[in-house]
Amino acid sequence: MFPKTFQKLIDHFIALPSIGPKMAERLVLFLFKYDKDKVLSFAEDLQDLANNLHFCKNCYHIAEDEGLCSICLSENRNREIICVTEDPLDVISIEKSKAFNGLYHVLGGNLTVMNDKEIKKLNFDKLIERVREEEVKEVIIATNPTTDGDTTALYLRRILQELPVKITRLGRGMPTGGDIEYADQITLSSAIEGRREM
């Protein structure tokens, strides 16, 4: 029905979250009609995304090249507090709230199923290493207020409780079942300020 190149692009767009076949067709048609220089620039930016962006070696947030992210490199951050999130979009949302000035640790997901395979995929070991080796006094667990997020938070509490660190959880300014990524800045600010010890 479509030329091969057109169909391949549709397939790429369909693989993205929240994009169905109709929307994918519209997007590819839009790019086809779009200014050629802008399409080439878009393609270059996608190539840069694949080649130049990586996970931070320290906290697993998004970093340029293969080093540390701008948050880990900053000398203005409070290094005694680590906020643990499920993914980088949560870090970005919390940063927009301007309510937190510590460091982060991105798990790379949550415990949807409590088994060894799931646990190994997430960045728990590096978090334990950071708490042991850095001068961390508090770990804020900022997993989403969902069943999976709560399961992950309980697991984190269990593996951290033997270490000399205060463990807190975001306050329930966040609605149960919600996503940090979609929370507004005021809600996130109050959740950070209302965190409680676990």
- The whole-model pTM stands at 0.79
Question: What local confidence, expressed as pLDDT, does residue 2 receive?
Answer: 84
Question: What local confidence, expressed as pLDDT, does residue 172 receive?
Answer: 67
In angstroms, the CA 72 to CA 155 distance is 25
Q: What is the mean pLDDT of each run of 10 residues along the chain (198 residues)?
A: 90 94 95 95 94 94 90 96 96 93 95 74 93 95 89 93 92 70 77 74
Q: Tokens 């929240």 label which residue?
A: 18
Q: What is the DSSP string of 47-82?
A: HHHHHHEEE-TTT-SEEETTS--HHHH-TTSEEEEE
CATH number of the domain where residue 165 is located:
3.40.1360.10
Question: What local confidence, expressed as pLDDT, does residue 112 receive?
Answer: 79
* Structural domain contains residue 18: yes
Question: What local confidence, expressed as pLDDT, does residue 185 receive?
Answer: 80
* Structural domain contains residue 193: yes
The reply to whether 35 and 123 lie within a common domain is no
Question: What local confidence, expressed as pLDDT, does residue 94 receive?
Answer: 94
Question: What local confidence, expressed as pLDDT, does residue 145 receive?
Answer: 83
Contacts with 155 (C-beta within 8 Å, 6 or more apart), sequence order: 111, 114, 119, 124
What is the total count of domains within the chain? 2
Question: What local confidence, expressed as pLDDT, does residue 171 receive?
Answer: 76
